[in-house]
Amino acid sequence: MSTIPDVPIPPDLSRRYSRTPEGRAWLASLPVLIGQFLDQWELLPDLEPGALPWNGHGGVVIPVRRRDGARFGGNGGGNGDLAVLKVAFPHEEATREHHALALWGGHGAVRLLAADAGSCALLLERLDACRSLLDVPLETAVTVWGGVVRQLSVVPDDRPQWRDIDHVAARAEQWSDELPATWEHLARPFPRWLLEAALEVCQTRGAVGRRSAKDVLVHADLHYLNILARPGLPGPGTGQEAGLEAYAAIDPQPMIGEAEFAVAPVLWNRLRELPQHNPGRALLARCGDFSAAAGLDAETARQWSLVREVENALGYASQRHHEGDLARSLWVASTLAGRTLPGLPGPQQLPSPGEAAGEAAGLAGG
């Protein structure tokens, strides 16, 4: 029988999941789950006294070592004796994460060491949680991101992990039906022309995707904080071979389709770094720069990014306390469509993703 470890749960994770019965049940089960997998995989927590584990939006990540002091195996970073235990709240993305990581095999993404699919528990190589692409100059981030995408863009084959991963083209067909209905239900929260621009992308790119022979595995949430440095490896600019493996992607939202679908998150983040003069032109240039670094088509990336931000905007319009997030999505979507909506704050005044919601939760005591 596993013992319940003395591993604290990060307060913001507790706040987030205490709002629903399912979340509260998962929080109550977490200590037992953590103890179960520490025992099953013969691990010890590697936390300083009083330190909290890491966490993202949907799970807890605990630094661990092997109980017997053995190494986990070559993870490329010179820290093979270190790993992390990740336990995620069971949801669609979490149930497919281990499939994508197995397909990538540590090339461009964090290396998967063990998995328990039923509990959404993963044993992963340990990356440097304090060094992400958010911490490097944008021109460096462009180069690193492009290299990561090139490594992640593997072509489907006969491995069984592909079977449970959705297609981008199917998602576009779904949006063709859902976006207009949601727009009407929410009392038309933005002009019809922007909705129609998104629907045109769904119809054209969805059809192209169905016919395309260019399908690859896509990390659909590849923003700056989801690319972390590998400890012990020199950063970019210190040699091509070292630079290729210096960073790795985490937290995949895997899909199959055009690689350009991955560009959107680097456009709706770091908006405050756009210039005051003609920021819209600079956003389009950023789309071109990231696309070129990854060997992608900038126009296809622009189209997918437009429809993804329209979908985001409808999601934010349906929630309380997300006015800032809604404004950001509308600024990006309309700018990518070539007609920035009037009356929106400039990009330097827009919140970063999650920032406005976090402030609202704090004000609400949630």
What is the separation, in whole angstroms, between the first and last Cα of the chain? 35
Q: Where do we find the tokens 């071109």?
A: 288
Burial class (CB within 10 angstroms; exposed 0-12, middle 13-18, buried 19+) of 95 = middle
Q: What are phi and psi of 177, to 5 degrees?
A: -85, -40
| Phi, psi of 254, rounded to the nearest 5 degrees | -75, 140
Residue 12 bears catalytic tag: no
How many angstroms separate the CA atoms of 329 and 63, rounded? 35
Phi-psi region of 273 (alpha: psi -120 to 50; beta: other; left: phi over 0): alpha
Residue 233 pLDDT > 80, yes or no?
Answer: no
Per-residue pLDDT, averaged over 124-145, amounts to 95
Question: Pick the catalytic residue: 12, 81, 164, 221?
Answer: 221
Identify the weakest region by mean pLDDT among 54-58, 82-86, 163-167, 265-269.
54-58
- Stretch(es) of the chain classified as CATH 3.90.1200.10: 130-364
Q: How far apart are CA 228 and CA 143, in angstroms?
A: 14
The angle at the Cα of 263, spanning 258 to 267, to the nearest 5 degrees, equals 155
Neighbours of 26 (CB within 10 A): 20
Q: Is the pTM of this model over 0.75?
A: yes
Task: State the Cα–Cα distance between residues 17 and 14, nearest whole angstrom.
Answer: 5
The dotted CATH code for 130-364 is 3.90.1200.10
The tens digit of pLDDT for each residue in 290-344 reads 999 999 999 999 999 999 999 999 999 999 889 999 999 999 999 999 999 999 9
The domain defined by 11-126 folds into: Phosphorylase Kinase; domain 1 (3.30.200)
DSSP 269-310: SSGGGS-SSSHHHHHHHHHHHHHHHHT--HHHHHHHHHHHHH
Q: Which residues of the chain form CATH 3.30.200.20?
A: 11-126
pLDDT tens digits along 37-78: 999 999 999 998 888 999 888 899 999 999 988 888 654 444
Three-class SS state of 46: coil
For residues 144 and 243, the answer to whether their CB atoms sit within 8 Å is yes
Q: pLDDT value at position 360?
A: 38
- 167 Cβ partners below 8 Å, 6+ apart? 209, 215, 255, 256, 257
Condensed to tens digits (0 to 9), the pLDDT of residues 120-130 reads 999 999 999 89
Look up residue 275 and give its two tokens: 């210039």
